[in-house]
């Protein structure tokens, strides 16, 4: 964990405006050992600006403009980040705030740079900041685009034709059963991670993953245990175990949970079966 720089005292007059400090703190609290994080705009808004999305976007834009954050280009993602949807913003915390060149800006374009993280910490973390020239400049529209409130890309068709064919007689029950199961999966995901997202149940991305999990026989208890298993890993402790990650890994994880069953003893003298030979 990084410690804060005393230099912050000089930058607080800028950070105390417009929820900038709140939003920066939300990102600090989500960031990993590489000082990177990818909370959704919903989370940033809920935690950083008391539910006001426009304010959160404005604060984020200011922080990016003043180099406190950089958006990690898709090409420069770490292997741990490649499972995230391509348009999910990944933030690199730089540890510094730099005056911009705009004389109208409240930083007064005075050329000053302030550290918010302790410089020694930044040195020890093996610098992985992005070269400013390669950073994607994103305008306000893109920052507030709906993709961020719906970070999970639909990977399954959303139409009903993926429902396994069942007799028409019990179709209403089947549909209700499936709907209940999807809600139960989302509920456990929210509960286990204390997610602040009022719209979680309505997100088509979440629902399509939950539906697929349900169809694969994954139970809410499986999801809970998988999240708990992930949280044992330091990397995941301060991060949301996202649906895309669950979708990609829970089946393999579940298969390993089932203890291998010993084959029945073979009568003496009988040749080994082909399965034994295959090991």
Query: Which residues bind to Zn ion, rule: CB under 5 A?
Result: 100, 105, 107
Nearest residue (CB) to Zn ion, 70 versus 192:
70
Judged by beta carbon, residue 63 or residue 93, the one nearer Zn ion is 63
Contact status, residue 130 vs residue 70, Cβ threshold 8 Å: yes
Question: Between 90 and 107, whose beta carbon lies closer to Zn ion?
Answer: 107
CB of 222 to Zn ion, least distance (A): 49
CB atoms within 10 A of CB 270: 7
Rounded to the nearest whole angstrom, what is the least distance from the CB of residue 104 to Zn ion in the complex?
9
Minimal distance, residue 68 CB to Zn ion, in Å: 11
SS3 237: coil
Q: What is the DSSP letter of 89?
A: -
19 within 8 A of 56, measured Cβ to Cβ: yes
Least separation, in Å, of the C-beta of 78 and Zn ion? Answer: 29
Q: With left for phi above 0 and alpha for psi between -120 and 50, is residue 155 left, alpha or beta?
A: alpha
Q: Take residue 134 and report the two structure tokens written for it.
A: 């390669």
Q: How far, in Å, CA of 247 to CA of 245, rounded?
A: 5
Nearer to Zn ion, 36 or 60 (CB): 60
- Smallest gap, in angstroms, from Cβ of residue 15 to Zn ion? 12
Smallest separation, CB 85 to Zn ion (Å) = 31
CA dist., res. 47 & res. 84, Å (int) = 22
Please state at what angle helix 220-231 crosses helix 243-257, rounded to 10 degrees.
100
Q: Identify whether the C-beta of residue 125 lies closer than 8 Å to the C-beta of residue 35.
A: yes
Instruction: Tell me whether residue 23 or residue 182 sits nearer to Zn ion (CB atom).
Output: 23
DSSP 220: H
Please, which residues have CB within 8 angstroms of residue 242's CB and are 6 or more apart in sequence?
A: 83, 84, 151, 152
Of 100 and 200, which CB lies nearer to Zn ion in the complex structure? 100
């Amino acid at each position: 964990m990084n410690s804060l720089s005393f230099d912050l005292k000089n930058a607080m007059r800028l950070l105390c405006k417009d929820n900038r400090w709140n939003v920066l703190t939300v990102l600090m609290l989500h960031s990993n050992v590489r000082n990177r994080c990818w909370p959704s705009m919903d989370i940033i808004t809920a935690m950083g600006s008391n539910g006001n999305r426009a304010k959160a976007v404005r604060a984020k834009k200011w922080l990016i403009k003043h180099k406190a954050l950089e958006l990690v280009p898709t090409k420069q993602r770490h292997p741990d980040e490649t499972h995230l949807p391509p348009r999910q913003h990944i933030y690199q915390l730089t540890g510094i705030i730099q005056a911009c060149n705009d004389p109208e800006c409240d930083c007064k374009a005075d050329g000053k740079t302030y550290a918010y993280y302790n410089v020694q910490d930044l040195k020890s973390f093996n610098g992985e900041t992005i070269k400013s020239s390669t950073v994607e400049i994103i305008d306000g529209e893109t920052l507030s685009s709906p993709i961020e409130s719906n970070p999970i890309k639909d990977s399954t068709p959303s139409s009903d034709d993926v429902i396994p064919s069942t007799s028409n007689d019990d179709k209403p029950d089947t549909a209700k059963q499936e709907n209940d199961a999807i809600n139960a999966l989302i509920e456990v995901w929210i509960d286990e991670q204390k997610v602040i997202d009022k719209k979680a149940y309505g997100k088509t991305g979440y629902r399509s993953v939950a539906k697929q999990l349900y169809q694969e026989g994954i139970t809410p208890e499986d999801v809970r245990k998988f999240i708990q298993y992930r949280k044992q890993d330091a990397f995941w402790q301060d991060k949301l175990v996202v649906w895309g990650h669950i979708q990609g890994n829970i089946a393999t994880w579940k298969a390993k949970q089932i203890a291998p069953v010993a084959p029945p003893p073979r009568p003496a003298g009988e040749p080994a079966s082909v399965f034994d030979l295959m090991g």
